[in-house]
Chain A
Amino acid sequence: MASTETVRPMRWYDRLGHPGAFLSWSGRLIWPLAGVTVLLFVWGLWLALYGSPEDYQMGATVRIMYIHVPNAWLSQFVYGIMTVAAIGTLVWRHPMADVTMKAAAPLGAVFTLMALFTGSLWGRPTWGTFWEWDGRLTSTLILFFIYLGLIALWAAFDDKLRAARLVAVLTLVGAINIPIIKFSVDWWNTLHQPASVFVAGGPKMPMNILMPLFVMLFAFTFLFLLLQILAMRSEIVTRRIDALQRKMAMEPRA
């Protein structure tokens, strides 16, 4: 048994996770990431708008899918990242986990809103209505409310350290609940609306639809990574400014 008194030597991941080190290595990452994101978007949008066929039933509106699906994917992916960060906050009390959680929440909310918005734009010509209490739309709406609740909770605390731990508890409770919500909404939905509304999709998507979808998925995921890093950097800098201001206020005037 190793004694808890010994100081563990710093590993490579400790150095990566140090806020100061993060600022320096992530700074070098921003422009390459931005370049890759733009390239992926150009390629993906070209494929989506010109390189893919129209749907035989939905016509050109099927192209909304190339924006809608990546946003729907990110709405859940971001919550997954927040859950991992919440565990990091509660178990290791790592400041970077706090920063990750805080930066991800508004991004997740925006991606979820985009998924809802594009979904309703898609629903208008396809289902004939902007809003349908469809299982997927409904659980996405609830996910959106959960994001907003988390953001409101972040804003309600003055003390950042305490806020992070309590938000982490709520994030984990939400993570346990999201599959339950998904299941219950599906159950409720199938009882009240037995007909399947999704016309397109299924596993047999041809390659010329699948390809732009994948490129757009990567484009949006890279966009998220870029925005996440930028938001984390600005959060770290904000905290440093706060700390400096507190220090200056504490110092006796000479």
Chain B
Amino acid sequence: MTGFAAVVRRDIRLAVAAGGDLMTLLLFFVLVGALMPFAVGPDKVLLGRIAPGIVWIAAVLALLLGLDRLFMSDREDGSLRAFRNADIAMEAIVFAKLVAFWLTVILPLLLAVPIHALLLGMSLETLGRTLLSLLIGTPGLMSLGAIGAAITVGLRRGGLIGPVIILPLAVPILIFGIGAVAPPPAPGADRAALFFLAALSLVLSAIAPFAAGLALRLGED
């Protein structure tokens, strides 16, 4: 398991060293939310009602755009080729990279959610539920994004194609993520949504290393 830990540590160290990327992504995440009042008007009641949706959309966009680079730098500096000859399987490396990504990108993103709550007039209770649903839903979202990133890593003019192929697949996460926050239309529906969200996250986290690993291996030869 040392190889696994080494990859996690390497990715964390790289992310911390090149802190600029992370700050840009955080800024993007906050900006998407901060722009919303200009689009729908500064009506506090309306904003408070749609705030969880805004935060979720901002998270989906920030994550999918941020994940696009997940394997890109490794491919450019040749690490990807080295990973293929490593002692541990490509699947384990992908999973290690995802763990590092969650710690270095998603955790700061979650810490920025209170800024949204402040700007959009979210109640404290809604903030708590939004954070909980993001905490449970982001691993699934990240896993889908990793599959997209692995499939498109070899494209020179990739651009938006990774997010475009993954966004339709992210619909269930969005549905259950919002379902866990929104005032339940039926009793118990929010709890059910939270459990479905957890199930989705678990399934996708289990599939993603294999799908992404397969795509990385197929894309190289």
Contact = CB atoms under 8 A, between A and B. Distances in A.
- Chain A bound to chain B: yes
Interface of A: 90, 142, 145-146, 148-150, 152-153, 156-157, 162, 165-166, 169-170, 172-174, 176-177, 180-181, 183-185, 187-188, 191-192
22 contacts: A90-B214, A90-B218, A146-B169, A149-B161, A156-B157, A156-B158, A157-B154, A157-B155, A162-B154, A166-B154, A166-B218, A169-B147, A169-B215, A169-B218, A170-B151, A170-B165, A173-B169, A174-B169, A177-B172, A181-B168, A181-B169, A185-B172
B168 A146 contact: yes
A166 B217 CA distance: 10
Interface in B134-177: 147, 151-152, 154-155, 157-158, 161, 164-169, 171-172, 175-176
A146 B211 CA distance: 17
A191 B168 contact: no
B58 interface: no
A84 B185 CA distance: 40
Interface residues of B, number: 30
Nearest to B179: A188
Contact of B175 (A172, A174, A176, A184): A184
A188 B171 CA distance: 11
A211 to B, nearest CB: 36
B159 to A, nearest CB: 9
Main secondary structure of the interface of A (DSSP, over half): helix
A180 B157 contact: no
A169 B151 contact: yes
A149 B148 CA distance: 11
A153 B176 CA distance: 28
Contacts of A152: 161, 164-165
Contacts of A173: 147, 169, 207, 211
B200 A180 contact: yes
B119 interface: no
Given A165-B218, A191-B179, A177 B161 contact: no
Interface of B: 147, 151-152, 154-155, 157-158, 161, 164-169, 171-172, 175-176, 179, 185-186, 189, 196, 200, 207, 211, 214-215, 218-219
Contacts, number: 84
A166 B151 contact: yes
A135 B17 CA distance: 47
> Which 4 residue pairs across A and B have the least CB separation, nearest first?
A184-B172, A149-B165, A145-B168, A165-B218
Contacts of A191: 179, 185-186, 189
Given A149-B164, A162-B154, A181 B218 contact: no
Contact of B219 (A148, A166, A180): A166
A184 B189 CA distance: 13
Contact of A187 (B157, B175, B218): B175
A162 B169 contact: no
A142 B171 contact: yes
Contacts of B200: 180
A176 to B, nearest CB: 7
A142 B168 contact: yes
A157 B218 CA distance: 13
Contacts of B189: 191
Given A149-B165, A156-B158, A157-B155, 8 more contacts: A146-B169, A149-B161, A152-B164, A153-B165, A162-B154, A162-B219, A174-B169, A185-B172
Nearest to B165: A149
Nearest to A145: B168
A165 B200 CA distance: 25
Contacts of B164: 148-149, 152
A166 B215 contact: yes
A173 B150 CA distance: 13
Contact of B155 (A142, A156, A165, A176): A156
